[in-house]
Amino acid sequence: MNGDTLASWLHPVMYGCVLLLALGLYLRWRQRRQRAYAAEMQQSLEAGLAEPPSLHPVVNPLACIGSGSCVSACPEGALGIVGGKAVLINGSACIGHGACQSACAFDAIQLVFGTERRGIDIPDVTPAFESNVPGVYIAGELGGMGLIRKAAEQGRQAIEHVRKRSGTGWDLDVVIVGCGPAGLSAGLACIEHGLRYRLLEQEDSLGGAVFHYPRAKIAMTAPVKLAVVGTVRFGEVAKEKLLEFWNDIVRKTGLRIEFRECLQHIEADGDGFVVHTQRNRYRTRSVLLAMGRRGTPRKLEVPGEDTPKVVYRLIDPSQYRGRRVLVVGGGDSALEAALALCAEAGTQVTLSYRGDAFSRVKAKNRVAVQEAQAAGRLRVLLGTQVRRIDADAVQIENDGHTEALPNDDVIVCAGGELPMPLLRKVGIRFQTHHGLPA
């Protein structure tokens, strides 16, 4: 065998060896990743974090090829590859923006509400988005639609039907409750059709559930048609850019939003309604409920809670730099808020929780809190309850004894009260779904 013949024989063998080595390394890496995902899923199960709170993906194992494109697209790390297939490894982390479904090229992911173990109540609505109570319409997440583009379209279409009910004898044609994608789209439709409207938002910012997304990546994978504005084309857009876009629309169109108005009751008034908030009463022909499913923040119900120093979510940790902050709560949101705050220079952070241990939280958050506590960056008060909030202190009870804790700000992370009881009082019917396609 001459040299040329030997070289021509060796080259394919060498290339084959390199490919086999690369394949072996990849398979080894893949196995390690799958073991890590499986361990994380087990931790979620043990910590009680497996059940998703809202819209979430369900993977068809027959269609899934385990490429991991959905895992890469999920900014919350809620998905992983186990046994060669994509699975939801941390249901509590999923916020339902649908990026995983958009990333799957094999149509193996379906977005659903509810699970086999935990059903979700969805109101009955007609194709016109009208509930069983004539004149009360429901659009967006509350009605079972978590995707941004579809919620916005529902809000626009609902107003098309609301305008047919408009008439004289009422102060307003419609009151829109909620300033997320559905509510904003509905408000723009009111401007386009010249309807008399009020757009109410219980918080002090627009965006609804999008405002609370913890990461930058969300998905709007199809054009969205907005009244006044026209068709908006987004591919994949960061949360901050989307909120900036909506705020710009509000400024340009003059869309009026009544912030910090929390819906308390809807009272029937002939063939219309009186909408009650903590600040006003609105006589209206129709009502469009476009709020999310997070509900109203659960309050402590203690003296002083109504002061400006008390808020119910952490937006920007840097604004508390150098201040004395009390975080109240025992869930992941409370722990993560406390950890973010104690990372700011000069901030004195105390975490108060009425329970004796942080049980239903992510293991990494529990460990991080322990480390921050050991380093003296965070004070943890278990088995305690806030009794009064003063201008420069908070009265905290611990085992029958009350301590006056010097304080500048209070952040309550105690979850939310779902709006279902209020809506049932109005007469709206619900059905419990255990896996409703979006």
Pairing mode, if any, of strands 310-311 and 401-406? unpaired
Q: Which two tokens stand for residue 208?
A: 């609804």
Where do you find CATH 3.50.50.60 in the chain?
A: 121-295+419-437, 310-415
Q: Which two tokens stand for residue 327?
A: 């975080």
Q: Are 344 and 318 in contact (CB under 8 A)?
A: yes
CATH number of 310-415: 3.50.50.60
Residues 6+ apart with CB under 8 A from 141: 54, 55, 151, 180, 182, 208, 209, 291, 292, 293
What does the pLDDT read at residue 149?
Answer: 77
Cite the beta strand spans of 239-343 per DSSP E: 258-259, 263-269, 272-277, 281-289, 296-297, 310-311, 324-328
Largest CA distance in the chain: 103
Mean pLDDT per 10-residue segment, the chain (438 residues): 56 72 77 85 76 82 91 84 89 76 88 77 86 93 74 91 84 93 93 95 72 53 80 70 83 91 90 92 95 77 90 86 95 90 94 88 87 95 95 92 94 80 87 68
Q: Are 80 and 40 in contact (CB under 8 A)?
A: yes
Q: Which two tokens stand for residue 84?
A: 């060669």
β-bridge mates for residue 93, sequence order: none
CATH class of segment(s) 3-113: alpha beta
**Residue from 229, 134, 216 nearest 181 by CA:** 229
Q: Are 76 and 336 in contact (CB under 8 A)?
A: no
CATH number of 121-295+419-437: 3.50.50.60
Q: Which two tokens stand for residue 352?
A: 């108060």
Q: Are 334 and 353 in contact (CB under 8 A)?
A: yes
CA angle 353, 358, 361 (to 5 degrees): 120
How far is the C-alpha of 359 from the C-alpha of 366, rounded, in Å?
Answer: 9
Residues 6+ apart with CB under 8 A from 216: 75, 238, 239, 240
CA R_g for the chain: 26
Q: Are 155 and 185 in contact (CB under 8 A)?
A: yes
How far is the C-alpha of 56 from the C-alpha of 116, rounded, in Å?
Answer: 13
How far is the C-alpha of 398 from the C-alpha of 359, rounded, in Å?
Answer: 19
Q: Which two tokens stand for residue 206?
A: 């627009």
What does the pLDDT read at residue 236?
Answer: 62
What does the pLDDT read at residue 412?
Answer: 93
How far is the C-alpha of 55 from the C-alpha of 434, rounded, in Å?
Answer: 11
What does the pLDDT read at residue 359?
Answer: 74
How far is the C-alpha of 8 from the C-alpha of 321, rounded, in Å?
Answer: 68
What does the pLDDT read at residue 282?
Answer: 96
What does the pLDDT read at residue 5?
Answer: 60
